[in-house]
Amino acid sequence: MRTLSTASNGKTDQALRRSYLYVPSSSDRMLDKSLITPSDVIIYDLEDSVPPSLHDKDSARQRLSAFLSRTPEHKLPHPERVAVRLNDITTPFFENDISEILKSPFVRTLVLPKIHSVRDLHHVSRAIRTSRARTSTRIPIRIVASVESARSAWNLGEIASWTSEYGPDAGGKLGALLFAAEDYCADTSVVRTPSRLELLYVRSQIAIAAKAFGLDAIDMVCVNYKDLNYLKDECEDGRRLGFNGKQAIHPTQVDIIHSTFVPTANEILRAAKILHQMEVAHSSQKGAFGLEMEGGGKEMIDAPMLKQAENIIRVAKVAGLEIPVVG
């Protein structure tokens, strides 16, 4: 079982995964357009965006497989950006999906819908092990577990702590929890409102469970893809709750997601001041100091706020944002 994270954010890699853009694998045009999207992660979808008939599912799977094999390597997104959402394990399509998709060395991430319990993850892991036994690739498959039901919300701790019985190289490694809000509402009879208050509890629980075990937390789709102001508000809300990034269903959503799931200029300046002044305080054998606040007053800065500031500067550096020199 995965142990609780004791790192400041539980993450060991430095990749930014702010946006997860869904691309229907049933459309050659959409597949080709995915080659130019700036989305941090591209989810090639075999599930909800594909009609449920056997013919359509088989056609989409073969179309995606052909796309990944025929597109010149230098034109494909980096493998770390490539994800595929499979059909869930209870469907007749899952086994063919995972067997076909893992033939490609460019697929490093699998998004698994309707993960209700660790039993579902064990099922996925066994399928990964079987499929990868036929290939020479040994880079661990990153698993994104989709939280879509009351059962999965109830079992969040067990799901987030899951590890493969075969080890990460053979059986995959859980990398993120993803919130599928509309599926969750359908399962729980929660009534969606623009305020999102009805989802505050479950979203908070997902973010907490993810961070407890060193996983990314991926926030829900903003279904109102035409209202970019509302998208901005929803992104800011998700970031405050602790999410690392957000799903997107339209390319126009990506830029706003990217610009929101990074520290603001004021946050970076404040963090830089904290790091500088804490260094001065430590040199004077002090563990805390008072930081001047905008509008007057002072706030006491000590070790927990120093950790927050270090996290902000780390993300800012990875995002390529300007970090002011404070002296």
- Decide if 17 contacts 41 (C-beta within 8 A): yes
Those residues with Cβ within 8 angstroms of residue 306's Cβ, 6 or more apart along the chain or in another chain = 274, 275, 278
The CA-atom distances, in angstroms, between 278 and each of 104, 272, 296, 300 are 49, 10, 20, 11
State the Cα–Cα distance between residues 85 and 44, nearest whole angstrom.
6
The CA-atom distances, in angstroms, between 64 and each of 61, 157, 175 are 5, 34, 23
Confirm whether residue 237 is marked as ligand binding: no
What is the distance between the terminal CA atoms of the chain, rounded to a whole angstrom?
Answer: 46
Kindly tell me the burial class for residue 203, based on how many C-beta atoms sit within 10 Å of its own C-beta (0-12, 13-18, 19 or more).
buried
3-class state of residue 241 by DSSP: helix
Question: Most distant CA pair in the chain: distance in Å?
Answer: 72
State the Cα–Cα distance between residues 132 and 123, nearest whole angstrom.
14
Beta bridge partners of 145: 112, 177
Kindly tell me the burial class for residue 278, based on how many C-beta atoms sit within 10 Å of its own C-beta (0-12, 13-18, 19 or more).
buried
Confirm whether residue 322 is marked as ligand binding: no
Say how many C-beta atoms besides its own lie within 10 A of residue 125's C-beta.
25
Confirm whether residue 73 is marked as ligand binding: no
3-class state of residue 56 by DSSP: helix
State the Cα–Cα distance between residues 285 and 307, nearest whole angstrom.
18
State the Cα–Cα distance between residues 180 and 112, nearest whole angstrom.
11
Binding residues: 85, 148, 183
Which residue ranges make up the annotated binding site for substrate? 85, 148
Q: Binding site for Mg(2+), residues?
A: 148, 183
